[in-house]
Amino acid sequence: MVHRLCNIKKVGDMLVGYARVSTHDQNLDLQRDALTKAGCERIFEDRASGARDDRPGLTAALSHLREGDCFVVWKLDRLGRGLRALIDFVEGLHHRGVDFRTLDGGTQIDTSTAQGKFFFRVMAALAEMERDLIRERTNAGLAAARARGRKGGRKPKLTAQQICHARKLLADPEVTIKEVAASLKVNRATIYRALGLGAAGRKRSTA
């Protein structure tokens, strides 16, 4: 069942609908009908992937919204955003005095109600907890790697054995850095960095 209204606060406040499909051969009629039945006076549309930020219909809808209005979508996935981005989006509406509502899906949301506000606070807390857990796992992995003698970041191009071999080769004044680099299948800049060579090394590389 579709409830007709958000808790519209005063005469003049509007329900503004947004509908989206990903491709031009998909039909918007189901979403249009649901938004119209819910009482949306204006409906903005996009035919674009939810991953895109440059959606003219969504931009126009956000520009049209005023304090006291309610932004309505058929389902949450019509916004096509990840959890953290979705929470930030709804919080942005809240700061403008705009409510948010979904009409269908596993969980109907209406931030004009106490239950809807509570639901989004829980979602925000879960998103924050997920971010903290990811950070903790990353830091724990880096700490474990350091304990085993490895550092985070890009894997070195030359092993300690190869660096030692390069030093021995360059002990011969007749051997150039270019030749050493070629033998190790790396470029000269890698040899410079690995051996800590400066201008002197660059002069030798062309000698």
Q: Over 70: is that where the pLDDT of 11 sits?
A: no
- Residues 36-54: tens digit of each pLDDT: 999 999 999 999 887 777 8
Identify the residue whose tokens are 């796992």: 137
**What count of other Cβ atoms lies within 10 Å of the Cβ of residue 110?**
21
Q: Which domain holds residue 174?
A: 160-205
Q: Over 80: is that where the pLDDT of 160 sits?
A: yes
Q: Over 70: is that where the pLDDT of 144 sits?
A: yes
The domain tally of the chain equals 2
Report the CATH number at residue 60. Answer: 3.40.50.1390
Q: Give residue 160's identity as a one-letter amino acid code.
A: A
Please state, rounded to an integer, the average pLDDT across all residues of the chain. 81
Task: Report d(CA 159, CA 18) in Å as an integer.
Answer: 57
Task: Name which residue leads in pLDDT, 138 or 10.
Answer: 138
Give, as one character, the DSSP assignment of residue 41: S
- Residues 74-104: tens digit of each pLDDT: 988 888 777 778 888 888 898 999 999 999 8
- Would you say residue 133 lies in a domain? no
Global pTM? 0.58
Confidence band, pLDDT 50/70/90 cuts, at residue 149: low
Q: Is 63 a catalytic residue?
A: no
**Are residues 102 and 165 both part of a single domain?**
no
**Tokens linked to 16:** 């503004």
Task: Report d(CA 150, CA 207) in Å as an integer.
Answer: 36
Q: Over 60: is that where the pLDDT of 202 sits?
A: no
- Would you say residue 171 lies in a domain? yes
- Would you say residue 77 lies in a domain? yes
Confidence band, pLDDT 50/70/90 cuts, at residue 142: confident
Task: Report d(CA 164, CA 161) in Å as an integer.
Answer: 5
Which one of 22, 49, 63, 112 is the catalytic residue? 22
Task: Name which residue leads in pLDDT, 65 or 79.
Answer: 65
Q: Over 70: is that where the pLDDT of 198 sits?
A: no
The pLDDT of residue 150? 61
- Would you say residue 60 lies in a domain? yes
**Are residues 115 and 200 both part of a single domain?**
no
